Structure 1
Amino acid sequence: MRFFRRLCLRLFLLFLLLALLSVVLVALLRVFDPPVWAWQLGRELSPPVAYPAKVQHRWVGIDRISPRMQLAVIASEDQRYPLHRGLDLEAIQDALDEREKRGRVRGASTITQQTAKNLFLWPDKSLFRKGLEAWFAIWLELLLDKQRILELYLNIVEFGPGIYGVEAASQRYFGKAAAALHDWEAARLAAVLPNPYRFSVARPSPYILQRGRWIRRQMRQLGQGYLKQLD
């Protein structure tokens, strides 16, 4: 019994230490741009077939990313982004209802959750991984503001094999800075984010062209003023 109590105590202390470390890592993002992140490391340690020998990435601040691009990813990925605190409970409930009615699983991850996954975690659909994703998402929302989380997301998300961040993607596909993106360009970039290995910005399929048009309609409905809610 004494050994068992000691083991439980040590496990509990280890859990507290890891929890504290995770909070510290999130807090550091208030002032530091991450030089590397878990998703990128995973790609490089176990590269997909199409992964290039040299990745492309350039960090830019949120003020150097076109508001159209900011609105495009919100319209495409998480239209309630300004309103929730990391977890969109309404979207989660809708996804559960759809699975119950149609037997189909629909994603309900927020931009904050996707940022947490890309920064700290590994590609997996287990409940344990999703639980960690929720943990980090909550702390991201508690310690960072919405604009900073969106800045992180747009700088680390992969838009194509080895093309990380909107600046590298904009330069690669459109030959311009992310600050100069137009509506259709921003929508095209946002359209491939569910799977940048299956879908291509440079060679868009009919589905991507259709999805890009849908994203532009959503952008018009939300309006550019929607971004003011992130302040």
Structure 2
Amino acid sequence: MAKTTTVATLGAALVELGLRVLLVDLDPQACLTFSVGIDPEDLDKSVHDVMLGGVRARDVLIELEDGPDLLPATIALATAEVQLARESGPEQVLRTALRPLRPAYDWIIVDCPPTLGLLTVNGLSAASDVLIPLQCETLAHRGVGQILDTVHDVQRLTNPGLQVLGVLPTLYDGRTTHARAVLEGIADTYSVDVLQPAIPKSIRFAEAPAIGETVLTTAPTSPGAKAYRALAEALAH
């Protein structure tokens, strides 16, 4: 969940800074779409239709009040991997679909699936930068190496300009030796930047998506909200 929470909250924080932001939900579970208050089952069209049905991205966009715009997902994306494999240049489909929208936004943030298949490769092929949220309370850091291997493949094959912004520590509890050790291990093992501030562990993050909002509005003075605002400030400048 930290991945989707980061996309939704960072997007909202960038909007607070006066920037024009589009969120793209590329996960068949549609967690991002749910978390901003949209029920995927109510949607006729989604990013799936944009990538594989010839529908223009601007015709699927949802403009959210006081927040980023959204290119939503539905369960239809679950079949996209098989369908994309039949396309010519299957890893570039999202990049092509988003190209007409790029002038309208300062930031386009893609929430990739947790698996490293063709959908994720599409997200990476369309991106200029990669931010890797890392849960500091698990062995999730093992996945960082796999993600970086995929990034290197994409750099070599489809998107040579792709940059790794760094790893963002989430669910971070600085009081535990384990969390601190995970962070130190990441920097030492993978030679990537560890972004600051770390996003603290908080029940507030679980509460916000249930009502279609982010912690910036449900708990605006909480440490989590302050951390995401500080991250947005750092990335925007």
- TM-score when normalising by structure 2: 0.27
> Highest CA radius of gyration, 1 or 2?
1
Greater percentage in strand: 2
Report which structure shows greater RCO (CA 8 Å, sep ≥6).
1
Taking structure 1 as the reference length, what is the TM-score of the superposition? 0.27
